[in-house]
Amino acid sequence: MAHEVPALGYSFDALEPHIDAQTMEIHHDRHHATYVAGLNAALESHANLQGKSLEDLIGDLDALPGGIQTAVRNSGGGHWNHSFFWQIMAPGGGEPGGALLDAILAGFGTLNEMKAQFSAAAAGRFGSGWAWLVKNSAGDLQVTSTPNQDNPLMDGSGDPVLGIDVWEHAYYLNYQNKRPDYVTAWFNVVNWDEVARRFGG
């Protein structure tokens, strides 16, 4: 079965004023669709891989035929990252609580310190990429970042629970070159309930 762009789950303007409707529409309907098309094209002549989950494909890239590894890494990674990204945002934002907050406090001391480290990773990622909050193999939270459309599943560094797209297409219409301003505003639309679900999963 061909991979598909998932529904956004909310309207394009639902995250305003923090993320504008035009950016969301272009990001979801064009950029994400391009990654899905690229992934499907890479798998077109590999029927034995078409039934594999996206996680299986990007989690063991070395097991793929050499001729499609880069395409699956880039397009498959872009598909996974964006599918994740849409879900960990929601109108209204909120604050973390429960076991998630306990883990944040244990790992960083304060919520603000976690946000500061995450924001620094996002702002400091050279060129295009992502910043992540991951649950590592010990169950602890840590901040990391990856280039391009890579993600922590690819190197086994942890399970992503929070992630921000810092490619320019994610913010340039409103924030131009002010990536730190975008990251600060983005925290207003984090879906902490979904982050908590992923942390507990």
- Asked if the peptide bond before residue 17 counts as cis, ω within 30 degrees of 0, the response is yes
169 Cβ contact partners less than 8 Å away, ≥ 6 residues apart: 23, 26, 27, 31
- What is the per-residue pLDDT across 145-200, written as a single tens digit (0 to 9) for each? 999 999 999 999 999 999 999 999 999 999 999 999 999 999 999 999 999 999 99
Domains of the chain: 21-87 (1.10.287.990), 98-200 (3.55.40.20)
pLDDT band at 92 (very low <50, low <70, confident <90, very high): confident
Residue type, 52: K
Phi first, then psi, for residue 153 (nearest 5°) are -65, -25
Are 74 and 148 in contact, with CB atoms under 8 Å apart? Answer: yes
Say if pTM beats, i.e. exceeds, 0.85: yes
Are 176 and 6 in contact, with CB atoms under 8 Å apart? Answer: no
- What is the per-residue pLDDT across 36-83, written as a single tens digit (0 to 9) for each? 999 999 999 999 999 999 999 999 999 999 999 999 999 999 999 999
pLDDT band at 33 (very low <50, low <70, confident <90, very high): very high
Q: Which H or E run includes 197?
A: helix 192-200
Distance CA 142, CA 110 (A): 13
- Among 74, 85, 72, residue whose Cα is nearest residue 165: 85
Residue 19: Cβ within 10 Å count: 24
